Amino acid sequence: MKKVLIIAFDNTGLEYLSLRQVLESFGFSVLIKYIGRPNHFTEVLEGKMEFDPDYIIISCHGEEGKIIMPVLAMSIYTGNEPRTDFSDKEISQYLKIKNKIIINTGCMTGTEDMLLSFSRNQNVYIAPNNYIEGSSALFFVINFFYILTQNNNVIQSFESAKNYDKETMVFVTSNNLYFPR
């Protein structure tokens, strides 16, 4: 059974719960990791979890190539905890996970710099390179996994889900999908 980790950031509505319900009905084992502070996200990027997923879905908001992080009161942050939104620099600093298919639903998180940062360690990264309607991002992910369950490979699933309409066309991927290292 393939395993999926959904990283649930605040203010994404019920996207992560919808994904969990649908993916479990498709036969995937799903775990949700709630992100209440930046260190929760760095733990996932560093692979500090007992759950070893095949797929990681980042359910978040994004803007201009950054993942919007929770904002805490200054007295709540720990010593070296990041205090900014995560760009390619923070991803490169913390990313240690390997050989994962990572799908991000956040707007504009598919910039070239983010693609390069997430694609290290033979990961495949899929994300929108522009603004996208939340329902279209949800539909893309569900469609991707549905097509995958029909004995298709990741390339076929990505291409079919991406080419559904003009909204889903904003999803891009790293070269690792087509040219594994």
88-129: pLDDT as tens digits: 999 999 999 999 999 999 999 999 999 999 999 999 999 999
The reported pTM is: 0.96
Q: Which residues pair with 128 in a beta bridge?
A: 171
**pLDDT value of position 132:** 96
For the chain, percent helix, then strand, then coil, each to nearest 5? 35, 20, 45
Instruction: Give CATH for domain 3-177.
Output: 3.40.50.1460
Query: CA 4: distance to chain centroid?
Result: 11
**pLDDT value of position 181:** 46
Structural domain spans, the chain: 3-177
**pLDDT value of position 180:** 59
The 8 Å CB, 24+ separation contacts for 119-122 are 119/174, 119/175, 119/176, 120/92, 120/95, 121/95, 121/96, 121/97, 122/98, 122/176, 122/180, 122/181
Q: Which residues pair with 30 in a beta bridge?
A: 4
**pLDDT value of position 32:** 97
**pLDDT value of position 177:** 78
Would you write out the chain's pLDDT as a tens digit for each of its 181 residues? 899 999 999 888 899 999 999 999 999 999 999 999 999 999 999 999 999 999 999 999 999 999 999 999 999 999 999 999 999 999 999 999 999 999 999 999 999 999 999 999 999 999 999 999 989 999 999 999 999 999 999 999 999 999 999 999 999 998 777 765 4
